[in-house]
Amino acid sequence: MTPTFAGLFPCPSGQKGDPEVVFVLIFTPESVSHLRAYLTTDIRSPQARVTVWKTIQEVRRRFPDGMLLLDPVQNMHITDNKFTQLVKKIAITELNSIPLHQDARLPELYTLSKQKVKVSDRCRELKKKILATHDVCR
């Protein structure tokens, strides 16, 4: 198990641990849910941290399949046309939406694709040599 921050390790499942407050950089979270939990403003005391932990556990219990992600258009009511077009483009290009991403043969297919690129490059080099040879013969 690797430390998450300053030598802190997540508590293994089923074991009791102590909730800690850990500061993270703004770009660290991978996604944001549209759910909101009302928490106490001061979580310095151990009891307040335990209360926050219980709230998080309750949210996890209610959403075992994961929480719904924040949709900027529906949840935040952003209606700008350029923004909605950008969101659509992002959705199209996200790797997880591509069926190949979940394919078990992905490493093998990636290797084959790399080999194809190498062969294509080699063919291009040989064509250049052939053209250069034809130019010399004329």
Mean pLDDT value across residues 18-47:
86
| pLDDT band at 127; cut points 50, 70, 90 | very high
Task: Give residue limits of the domains in the chain.
Answer: 1-70, 95-137
Give the burial class of 30: count Cβ atoms within 10 A of its Cβ; 0-12 exposed, 13-18 middle, 19 or more buried: exposed
Tell me, what's the pLDDT at 41?
86
Note whether 101 and 95 are within 8 A (CB): yes
Alpha helices in 1-138 (DSSP H): 46-62, 81-93, 106-137
pLDDT, mean of residues 66-74: 86
Predicted local distance difference test score (pLDDT) of residue 95? 65
pTM of the model: 0.52
pLDDT bracket for residue 125 (50, 70, 90): very high
Q: What does the pLDDT average to over 70-86?
A: 89
Q: What per-residue confidence (pLDDT) applies to 6? A: 61
Question: Are 6 and 21 contacting, i.e. CB atoms less than 8 angstroms apart?
Answer: no
Q: pLDDT band for 4, please (50, 70, 90 cuts).
A: low
Joined together, the tokens standing for residue 11 give 């508590």
Query: Which residue reads 């928490």 in tokens?
Result: 39
Q: Are 77 and 70 in contact (CB under 8 A)?
A: no
Share of the chain above pLDDT 70, in %: 93
pLDDT for res 96: 67
Q: What is the pLDDT of residue 48?
A: 92
Q: Taking phi first (over 0 means left), then psi (-120 to 50 degrees means alpha), and beta for anything else, what does residue 92 get?
A: alpha
Sorting pLDDT into bands at 50, 70 and 90, what band is 82?
very high
